[in-house]
Amino acid sequence: MSKRVYSAPGDTIESVHPVTVHRYRGLTRLNHWVTAGALIVLLLSGLALFHPALFFLTGLFGGGQTTRWLHPIVGVVLFLSFFLLFLQMWRLNLPRREDVQWAMQTKDVILGHEEKLPELGKYNAGQKTVFWAMTGLILVLIVSGVMIWQEYFPHLVSIPVRRLAVLAHALAAVLIILVFILHVYAAIWTRGTIRAMTRGTVTGGWAWRHHRKWLRELAGRRDAGPAE
């Protein structure tokens, strides 16, 4: 049986006085922010097209015609950018036994009783839920989006199917907005998390408190010396 891996390429302990841990490579961070930027543009432009009361938001993009053209193009950018993130992160987001226990101790998570929680790899159950929710919803959005993209695919599906695709697209959009808000809130609420996606590093104390199995693996790799 292969050994479980809790870290990604590039994850290292950079220094020990004080302990600083490299959590994300520059490419991964750039990829993340392109995805986040595309999602924000889609959120605003999508709301502008969703209801007349929000049409004023098209002013952010140069008017209604530009917004209508831009929205699906940025949707493709989101899909491709997130796909690259998916390739980098999917293995570490697979469910583990400790995730079930972590999820059952939500009260301890909220109260900050980290000492009562199980040791975790690079991601906890909440982060994994956001990851897989994003994966599923982006797939629904891209598939339904292509089905209603009449400029390039006017005869791809019948009108009744297109109407269902519009409904699916709208529902998935609402859900992904909620997941995005949850993701941002969790990043702000857990102090030290945003640093990981801006500087690429976290403190040793942060890693020990929130992702101890991940830190242990990095420490073991460091003690073992460079691989042959």
Active site residues: 183
Nearest to 167 by CA among 201, 200, 144: 144
Q: Is the peptide bond before 226 cis (omega within 30 degrees of 0)?
A: no
Quick check: 105 and 117 in contact, CB under 8 A? yes
Give first-to-last CA distance, the chain, whole Å: 22
- In angstroms, the CA 91 to CA 215 distance is 17
